[in-house]
Amino acid sequence: MEQVPLNYSDPAYLVIGNGRLAGHFLHYFDLLGIRWYQCTRQNLQEFYDLINTSDHDRRISRVLLLIRDDQIEGFVKEHKHLAPSEVIWIHCSGVLSIDDAESAHPLASFSEVMFADDFYQSIPFVTEKGRPGFNTLFPGLPNPNFEITKEQKTLYHAMCSVSGNFTTMLWQHFFNYLKHDLGFPEHMAFPFLESIAKNLVLSEDPLTGPIKRGDAKTVERHLDALKNTSLERVYRAFINFYKDSKL
């Protein structure tokens, strides 16, 4: 699979992977008219055909590794020696730091649904300080970008997972509760979700509810209703987190 190139002077990317993030990247590249090729780890023929091609019109300048974190380092070790030294290898892991590939982590959550076209340029990328910067890795992308040290990467990525993935689990659980326990459509909660997101973006003090108000009686009633469930433990953990975080 390949896109017809619009400008041969632009960098050409060879994308390894066909998951959700790959789909978003290829869509974004299409929007910007960036030349790309794609292959998977299961079918690397395109990789072998392109990595040392003498055809200038098909030559690549960057290999973009959009595969699982635990597969990245092994793939680089096995295949990088096949490529010309000027080819830049890039992965998008937020936690991984390896000598033979650069990193640029997109700070967004990617599902199977494409974003609105104008959203992609707003996604920030986080690169590693002391390594080639974002504009070197992705010269055709106008996205905001920031740097962190190698030592900061693991905590940074853990914070991303906690804030994004953990809240998603809670919202999915809430949607299932509305649908299966109360017989309500999931979409009735969408304004609630949107109001929380807007509060987080627009308000300097977005937290609401009984923990914020110090309403101990309501909190105890909540804990009684959740008794002997995993959510009771989550609720108590968040009470302690709120006390420690001084939000």
Per-residue pLDDT tens digits for 32-64? 999 999 999 999 998 999 998 888 878 899 999
- Percentage of residues in the chain with pLDDT exceeding 90? 89
According to CATH, the topology of domain 155-245 is N-(1-d-carboxylethyl)-l-norvaline Dehydrogenase; domain 2 (1.10.1040)
CATH among 3.30.505.50, 3.40.50.720, 3.90.1150.10, 3.40.50.300 for 12-148: 3.40.50.720
Beta strand pairing call for 62-65 and 102-106: unpaired
- Report residue 134: phi and psi, to 5°: -60, -40
Per-residue pLDDT tens digits for 213-224? 999 999 999 999
Alpha-helix residue ranges (DSSP H) falling in 51-140: 69-79, 134-137
**pLDDT for the residue numbered 6:** 38
Alpha-helix residue ranges (DSSP H) falling in the chain: 20-32, 45-50, 69-79, 134-137, 153-160, 167-176, 190-202, 210-213, 216-225, 230-245
Q: How far is CA 149 from the centre of its chain?
A: 19
Query: Which residue ranges of the chain lie beneath pLDDT 70?
Result: 1-10
Enumerate the domain spans of the chain.
12-148, 155-245
Please give the single-letter amino acid code of residue 73. Answer: E
Helix (H) or strand (E) holding 128: strand 125-128
Q: What is the DSSP letter of 165?
A: I
Buried b (16+ CB within 10 A) or exposed e, 49-85: ebbeeeeeeebbebbbbbbeeeebbebbeebeeebee
**pLDDT for the residue numbered 54:** 81
Mapped onto helix, strand or coil, the DSSP state of residue 80 is: helix
Pairwise CA distance, residues 166 & 174, whole Å: 13
